[in-house]
Structure 1
Amino acid sequence: MKVLLLLVTLAVFTSAQKDTIVQLFEWNWDSIGRECIKVLGPLGYGYAQETIQGAAWWTSYQPVSYTVNNKRGSRDQFKKMVADCNGAGVKILVDAVMNHMTGGSGTGVDGHGFTHYSYPGTYSNLDFHYCGSNGNNINNYKNKTEVWTCQLSGLADLATDTSYVQGRLSSYLADLMSMGVAGFRLDAAKHMDPQNIKAIVGKLTTSPFLTQEVIYGYGEGVQPYMYTDIGNVMVFQGSRDLKRMFESDGIANLVRGNGWGQSWGNGYLPSDKANVFVVDHDTERDGSTISYKSNNNAFNLAHVFLLAYDYSTPTVYSGYNFDDFNAGPPGGDHVQDVQCGNGWRCDHRQIPIANMVAFHNAVQGTPISNVVTMGDQALAFGRGEKGFVIINNQDQPWKAQFKTSLPAGTYCDVVHSKNPSNKACSGPTYVVDGSGLFTAAINSRDALAIYEQSASPAPPTTETEEPTTSTTSTDTTVPTTTGTHDDLVEVNFKLVKEDTAEGQTVYITGDSPAVGNWDVNHSPALQNNGSNVWVLSARFKPGRILQYKYFTRYASGGLDWEKRSNRLLKMPSSGSIDEEDQYVN
């Protein structure tokens, strides 16, 4: 038996927002259940995709019965996984192989004996197609009848046009749904007449979610568009084109003209009917797409693009290390509990990919905007007022000022931060000014992504003390280090910052034009005296209370606020004062 699992999480977003699929290739039931609760839900993944048993990975795609007992776990373990995930707000989708059975004979994992065309208690030799040519195998892919009724690589082709087979397959799906499964991915759907798929699914009392494996081939008799009125369809041409753009033609082409998607022609589908991906278990082995073995960080960068762009439902692939084409998962016949790093790659947990899932969820429904390209191998684009992404696939850094439609604020670069929230950002931060502008330097073969949920106003305050006069300044002065005015108080700021490093500059900002009015792009820099001391003089209205804060800029364009609430300073009625502060890291 072969089953592929898909998990829908609803913990934070609606199901329409959380549509990202993660293919957890060859994981067992217990590991999926734990991952669902501890990782997939919190990260915002929408679905997870899984396979069953077999020392060689492809044996997972040759079912011998429809009992949910296999080397990924027992029926009870499967039911527990579904219950655990549903209890955590995670729905399960199962990928069923309905086109065929096996290509030989033997004994299944659950103890059932079988031969090529006989599966006792399930199918007899009367339940298969025998097309009568080329050993009953497909020979001419331009002939759709042959594709639908002849064998795929010698695998016994089920007669899905007969009432018994349709009923048996429908009862199989219904059994899974009775355990809480929400829908299905249909493996090898290309080799089934779409009318037969409709008949099978039509017998179910509840309409499931469907996505279908229909591989595009130029000039072939069966095309992906034939299946769009049944459900979503996987866009293999999109994966091939991503490889071509990242490795040769240039990723800038992905955002030129109408952009990557249905307008690219053959093999593409309307966005609401498509399922796109960088790589899957087949294509990482045949070399037709980018994989974890690709050079120049292409695997991560392609996933950043996939999750940032606005075309269709995305799938993230997470497999295991392999050198042999036939290699099964770590543990072989006895699939072990997954331990990331112990042969299992767990790419869906990697920061550049994992955090982009939340980006994808946050920007859904927004248009592509503010497109910028640099040559053929660098691009940047916004997602309306929600997010902005930059991908540099060049051999040299890309430094520029970028125009966005984002609200003014401080944003965490989620490609480089373990926590995508500005409140706990462990990576660089960038300040978008009131005009939507920010400056960034992106390293070679790297990316940057900021979005609304990773931002906080610049900067927040937790102070509750009320000033004796309005906190809205009416100052019209600018900072100065010389001269005085009779009606202004001069403040001589002296800041000690113990960890000052080369390339850093310290700034001050606050609720006065004299210190930038909280606009970090118009705030004054302090002067460094050559050690850890920074100084600045500025003038303010007498008697007012100044709210202010220090921040550090880096040569790359990134920004870090000191880790404390806003500072308060009461101005005297006249004269000047010296204010000494210690920078808080």
Structure 2
Amino acid sequence: MNYSKSLFLSAMAACGFSGTAHADAILHAFNWSYSDVTTHAQSIAEAGYKKVLISPAMKSSGNEWWARYQPQDLRVIDSPLGNKEDLAAMIAALKAQNVDVYADVVLNHMANESWKRDDLNYPGSDVLNEYAQNASYFAKQTLFGDLTYNNLSPNDFHPEGCITNWGDPGHVQYWRLCGGAGDKGLPDLDPNHWVVSQQRLYLQALKDMGVKGFRIDAVKHMSQYQIDQVFTPDITSGMHVFGEVITSGGKGDSSYDSFLAPYLNNTNHSAYDFPLFASIRQAFSINGGMNQLHDPLAYGQALESSRSITFTITHDIPTNDGFRYQIMNESDEALAYAYILGKDGGTPLIYSDNLPDAEDRDNGRWADVWNRTDMKQMLKFHNAMQGKSMKVLHSDQCLLMFQRGKEGVVGINKCGEERSYTVDTYQNEFNWFVPYKDVLSGATETVSGQYHTFNIPARTARMYML
């Protein structure tokens, strides 16, 4: 091991990272109000979640979900989802249930308000007047700073201009995210000394409130310099930090090689496992096979377990036209959840949204996923198998079977007819004469000899455990 790598690993150990803790499932309470999370704190814990990821806590306006990703002011928590007092109450309620809070943070840009003003002074005169007129209220919602002044000026932004070359990291990191029809885009922050100092104060204030992890939105659009300057050892110590770097696949895919690989190589952060997601989607496609999930890491099509945030859907997929093609069939999505919650490695992220009716294009499909009976049973299996080794027993086009220690067995059949596999219980250690019970159906299997055949019904997952 070279000296620099040794220092890197020592620094990770000093940060107090725990692989087991980071494998605990996260509920992504997307666009939930903080008071709704507080109300459901006990149910969230009872369902088996150990972490809750909340939408950005800052000053923002507008009822649309995307407005939460357009910061007006990082010094204040006040949005339609709640204020600083609501956030504090939520953190306390979840802490009482031994559930941690992770916060989504937006550091790449500020709100696009070109439709109402030409300047880049943030939060702007309208918001400053609002602060002045409601001084006692906003004093309670302040994280840091003096609200009688703007926090940012035109000097704190990159020059105006929209991203046109999405394959060029320089273009993606120094120009603006824009819509169509002449949109000027989201003002892109320049990581100068002042900007970096304010972003550090923001993250430290959230950490001081009890937040235990950060999801970095649009980190693909941030330069490595900015990431390094903002996420200092003091900020990241004891925290679970992971970034959103959207790719179309793993090693060999240009988006992976240009964006995700450098992010992983230059930080100790985790990241959304888009390579594994691409493998999952391919495995469940008509022409794909479950053998593509036999060992995707070996082929560079999944991230290292300790740094992987696994998922079957993210908030961008149903809410953006450009990603909706990635929505999986509901049955396939349920089977994919059995895979990410059954397997060893990675931190499973379970998406459950609360979108306004006008923005919900899927009739509430994901609103109650978090508390669905099958999800709670899969979480039960996931939590019981923490720390158990994983061994793939068999994979083919239709069927994937793997063992978790000698206490658990998972079989996932994506095809339209029953599939079977006979296991050598000498070669693969099993307990005999005690029932393995499927947490999903209640069916049992009792091993009583060297060879035991598992029958997995069509379009079904079985998650057996002692």
TM-score, with length taken from structure 2: 0.77
Question: Is the Cα–Cα contact under 8 Å of residues 50 and 98 in structure 2 kept in the other structure?
Answer: no
Q: What residue ranges of structure 1 are gaps of 5+ in the alignment?
A: 1-12, 108-112, 331-341, 417-426, 456-585
Given the alignment, which residue of 420, 423, 433 partners 2:448?
433
SS at match of 1:16: helix
In the TM superposition, 1:491-506 aligns within 5 A as: none
Is 1:195 equivalent to 2:225 in the alignment? yes
Question: Is the Cα–Cα contact under 8 Å of residues 276 and 303 in structure 2 kept in the other structure?
Answer: no
Partner of 1:55: 63
Distance 2:46 2:118 in 1: 43
One-letter amino acid of the counterpart of residue 240, structure 1: A
Distance 1:443 1:235 in 2: 29
Question: Is the Cα–Cα contact under 8 Å of residues 22 and 240 in structure 2 kept in the other structure?
Answer: no
Distance 2:73 2:401 in 1: 49
Distance 1:210 1:242 in 2: 24
Distance 1:344 1:32 in 2: 16
Distance 1:328 1:71 in 2: 21
CA-atom RMSD in angstroms:
3.0
Distance 2:390 2:121 in 1: 52
Is 1:165 equivalent to 2:165 in the alignment? no
Given the alignment, which residue of 370, 385, 401 partners 1:348?
370
One-letter amino acid of the counterpart of residue 404, structure 2: R
One-letter amino acid of the counterpart of residue 411, structure 1: Y
Distance 1:343 1:31, change over 3 A: farther
Question: Is the Cα–Cα contact under 8 Å of residues 290 and 298 in structure 1 kept in the other structure?
Answer: no
Is 1:388 equivalent to 2:409 in the alignment? yes
Report deviation, 1:438: 4.6
One-letter amino acid of the counterpart of residue 219, structure 1: S
Larger radius of gyration: 1
Distance 1:211 1:156, change over 3 A: same
In the TM superposition, 1:213-292 aligns within 5 A as: 213-216=244-247, 218-220=253-255, 222-228=258-264, 229-256=267-294, 259-261=295-297, 263-265=298-300, 268-285=302-319, 286-291=323-328
Report deviation, 1:303: 0.5
Q: Deviations over 1:338-396 (max 9, x none)?
A: xxxx77622122233222223223323433325123x5122211122131011111111
Question: Is the Cα–Cα contact under 8 Å of residues 233 and 274 in structure 1 kept in the other structure?
Answer: yes
Question: Is the Cα–Cα contact under 8 Å of residues 402 and 411 in structure 2 kept in the other structure?
Answer: yes
Distance 1:284 1:343 in 2: 10
Identity %: 26
Given the alignment, which residue of 1, 21, 25 partners 1:16?
21
SS at match of 2:382: helix
Partner of 1:65: 73
One-letter amino acid of the counterpart of residue 276, structure 1: T
Partner of 2:353: 319
Given the alignment, which residue of 438, 444, 454 partners 1:413?
438
SS at match of 2:231: helix
Distance 1:321 1:395, change over 3 A: farther
Question: Is the Cα–Cα contact under 8 Å of residues 33 and 84 in structure 1 kept in the other structure?
Answer: yes
Report deviation, 1:227: 2.1
Distance 1:35 1:343 in 2: 19
Distance 1:354 1:403, change over 3 A: farther
Partner of 2:31: 26
Question: Is the Cα–Cα contact under 8 Å of residues 275 and 303 in structure 2 kept in the other structure?
Answer: no
SS at match of 1:181: coil
Question: Is the Cα–Cα contact under 8 Å of residues 73 and 122 in structure 2 kept in the other structure?
Answer: no
Distance 1:391 1:302 in 2: 9
Q: Deviations over 1:175-218 (max 9, x none)?
A: 11121111211000111112321211217466222010112254
Point out the more displaced range, 89-98 or 217-226: 217-226
Distance 1:150 1:78, change over 3 A: same
Question: Is the Cα–Cα contact under 8 Å of residues 49 and 99 in structure 2 kept in the other structure?
Answer: no
One-letter amino acid of the counterpart of residue 406, structure 1: F
Question: Is the Cα–Cα contact under 8 Å of residues 56 and 328 in structure 1 kept in the other structure?
Answer: no
Equivalent pairs counted in the alignment come to 398
Question: Is the Cα–Cα contact under 8 Å of residues 23 and 346 in structure 2 kept in the other structure?
Answer: no
Partner of 1:490: none
Higher helix share: 2
Distance 2:64 2:411 in 1: 39
Partner of 1:76: 85
Higher strand share: 1
Report deviation, 1:165: 0.3
Report deviation, 1:70: 1.3
Question: Is the Cα–Cα contact under 8 Å of residues 105 and 217 in structure 2 kept in the other structure?
Answer: yes
Distance 1:306 1:442 in 2: 18
Partner of 1:211: 242
Distance 1:158 1:180, change over 3 A: same
Is 1:449 equivalent to 2:463 in the alignment? yes
Distance 1:387 1:20 in 2: 18
Given the alignment, which residue of 129, 145, 157 partners 1:128?
157
Report deviation, 1:432: 2.9
SS at match of 2:40: helix
Question: Is the Cα–Cα contact under 8 Å of residues 408 and 436 in structure 2 kept in the other structure?
Answer: no
Partner of 1:138: 163
Report deviation, 1:230: 3.4
Partner of 2:216: 186
Distance 1:399 1:434, change over 3 A: closer
Distance 1:344 1:139 in 2: 33
Partner of 1:376: 397
SS at match of 2:108: coil
SS at match of 1:139: coil
Q: What residue ranges of structure 2 are gaps of 5+ in the alignment?
A: 1-17, 125-149, 179-184
Is 1:44 equivalent to 2:44 in the alignment? no
Point out the more displaced range, 186-195 or 349-358: 349-358
Question: Is the Cα–Cα contact under 8 Å of residues 301 and 391 in structure 1 kept in the other structure?
Answer: yes
Distance 1:190 1:235 in 2: 14
Question: Is the Cα–Cα contact under 8 Å of residues 189 and 212 in structure 1 kept in the other structure?
Answer: yes
Report deviation, 1:90: 1.5
Report deviation, 1:150: 0.9
Question: Is the Cα–Cα contact under 8 Å of residues 320 and 343 in structure 1 kept in the other structure?
Answer: no
